[in-house]
Structure 1
Amino acid sequence: MKKIVLVDDMEIFNFIMVTSIKNVNPSFSVHDFTDPVRAFASLDEIAPDVVFLDLNMPIMDGWAFLDKMKEQNIKQKVYILTSSTSELDRQRSMEYGNVVQFLVKPVEEELLEKILQHGELVSEVE
């Protein structure tokens, strides 16, 4: 069973992602967090296969989350899931070895299925 962690300070985005992930495969275990500090503290216990991470959050933004993962040698796959369309953010995200892909919200279920069922890098539909 695949374990997934969602980190986004906006509850509605987590709700949409949980619904979409459950539509892809209801057996997936999804842990969603609006508090990135709590999410980070839970990584060890949950041991997710994949993390969907927002960038723009209060207290600890996505960059700080990634920096802490790097500092503590936590290697879970991370998909950036953000509303940012900044090319600079996209380029910066690739500086982290565990970032698989930079995705712009909202993510289509078809794209999620390719990521979660097949582990594929996928091209976003523009």
Structure 2
Amino acid sequence: MSNRLKIMLVDDQKMANFINKKLIAVTELAAEVIDYTLPEIALAEVEFQKPDVIFLDLNMPVINGWKFLDSLTEAKNFTKVVILTSSTSEIDREKAQNYTQVIDFLIKPLTKDIMLSLKSKLY
């Protein structure tokens, strides 16, 4: 399968982005990965970057994942979003279902198997 996906990682933890980039490379999930530790910059560049999918952390300073999703929705940007969180809150999981662009809700840290299982949702 030829891989042309472009993934945008948005997580305020540099290490989380580093690990996820490695997992994406190992599983050949995407052709291109761009990562941001400042969600406000990611949000400003989403239209320019045009990712196929955004891996979005929920718990971030300044703009959390929910505000990020609200901003995408207001901009009528329906890029697919995979929520990555360390929260096991059922409330968060239910809230995520209110956003049409959210295709998955995953608990960090991600693993190779989780990345491989995402392939079917992204292609």
TM-score, L = length of structure 2: 0.92
TM alignment of 1:60-75, pairs within 5 A: 60-75=63-78
Q: CA deviation at 1:78?
A: 0.3
Of residues 78, 81, 87, the one that matches 2:81 is 78
> Which runs of at least 4 in structure 1 moved beyond 6 Å after TM superposition?
none
Of residues 101, 104, 110, the one that matches 1:101 is 104
Give aligned-pair identity as a percent: 42
Of residues 112, 116, 121, the one that matches 1:113 is 116
Q: Which moved more, 1:103-112 or 1:78-87?
A: 103-112
Of residues 34, 38, 60, the one that matches 1:35 is 38
* Number of residue pairs the alignment of both structures matches: 119
CA root-mean-square deviation: 1.3
Q: Summarize the Cα distance change of 1:86–1:3 in structure 2 as closer, same or farther, 3 Å threshold.
A: same
Q: CA deviation at 1:27?
A: 5.9
- Bigger relative contact order, structure 1 or 2, given CA contacts below 8 A and separation 6+? 2
TM-score, L = length of structure 1: 0.90
Q: Equivalent residue for 1:44?
A: 47
Structure 1 residue ranges without an equivalent (≥5) = 121-126
Q: CA deviation at 1:83?
A: 0.3
